Amino acid sequence: MDWLQTIVNGLMLGGLYGLFGLGLALVFGVMRVVNLAHGEFIVLAAYGGTTLAALLPGVSPLWWVLPVAVAAFGVGYALQALLVNRAVRSGDPLTPLMLTFGLAVVLRNLMVEVFGTNPQALDGGAFTRAGFDLWGLRIALFPLAVLALAAAMFFALQWLLSRTEWGRIVRATSDNFRIVRLMGVQPNHVYNTVMGLALAFAAVAGMLLALRTSFTPYSGVERLLVAFEVVILGGLGSFWGAFAGGMALGVAQLLGQKFDSNAGSLYSHLLFFVVLIVWPTGLARRGR
């Protein structure tokens, strides 16, 4: 039963890991841009939550998830419109890569300057510590809610892209941005919206991270690594594959820590390495 408890906890942790990679998968799938500042935006959103909680201490931090996500959408839209679109138009795939790398360095050092290097976290109150017993297992409410929210966000994004007119426009722009111009579509506006959504997803992940554990300005590198592993493990272009990849990493990490308490995330990285060797295209595309 102890092992089953570990697996269940790993699945719930994997929901958060899946959210780390959702925005990264969206940007790469639509624009073929690898946002190396993705981890820093996750941490920046977490700091946004701690700042709001300090300004209004009587309000539960859970209420700040949506406002921080909306603000992140605006930041992503402006970032794409003012900087990344210009880099994409250069035609060199390394240009947006280097741009986001430089942005990551700037954001990391800016957070160090403004917030310092001491670990911070958000206290979500009784909800983040509550749980219930089910068939001999102890289920924590907050991680379960994170898993449910992650599944809902993956489903909503998949539905938007596959079932709505906006989704058809996004997919058409991703296939050939020159042709959609003939249909009256503005590719830059599509890219701006996609980047805004990606940073909104990152902001939700950052707020949930702050409610679950402590973080510092240097935590972005590790979150970016997890996001990359989630996206590649699931298979590039597969959102549900990324969700499954996140849960696989979560289970591998907690099972590894059960074997060796000092292992940290070693076993989740080993899982990623093994899958990459056996199925280089990812789990969702292994049969293709």
Amino acid of residue 175 = D
Three-class secondary structure assignment of 126-171: HHHHCEEEECCEEEEHHHHHHHHHHHHHHHHHHHHHHHCHHHHHHH
Token couple for 35: 């946002």
Cα separation, 17 vs 34, in Å, equals 18
Half-sphere exposure of 274 (CA within 13 A, CB side): 10
Q: What is the pTM of this model?
A: 0.91
Bridge partners, residue 131, by sequence: 140
List, for residues 271-281, the tens digit of each pLDDT value: 888 888 887 77
CA distance 31 to 102: 19
What pLDDT is attached to residue 287? 45
Show me where the domains of the chain are located: 2-221
Q: One digit per residue, pLDDT tens: the chain, 288 residues? A: 677 888 888 899 999 999 999 999 999 888 888 899 999 999 999 999 999 988 888 788 888 899 999 999 999 999 999 999 988 777 777 888 899 999 999 999 999 999 999 999 988 778 778 888 887 788 888 999 999 999 999 999 999 998 899 999 999 988 888 888 888 889 999 999 999 999 999 999 999 999 988 999 999 999 999 999 998 887 766 777 888 889 999 999 988 888 877 777 888 888 888 888 887 776 665 544
Residue 186's φ and ψ, nearest 5 degrees, are -100, 105
Give the per-residue pLDDT at 284: 61
Q: What confidence tens digit (pLDDT) does each residue in 87-120 have?
A: 877 777 788 889 999 999 999 999 999 999 999 9
How much is the pLDDT for 262? 76
Closest CA to 275 of 230, 242, 233, 231: 233
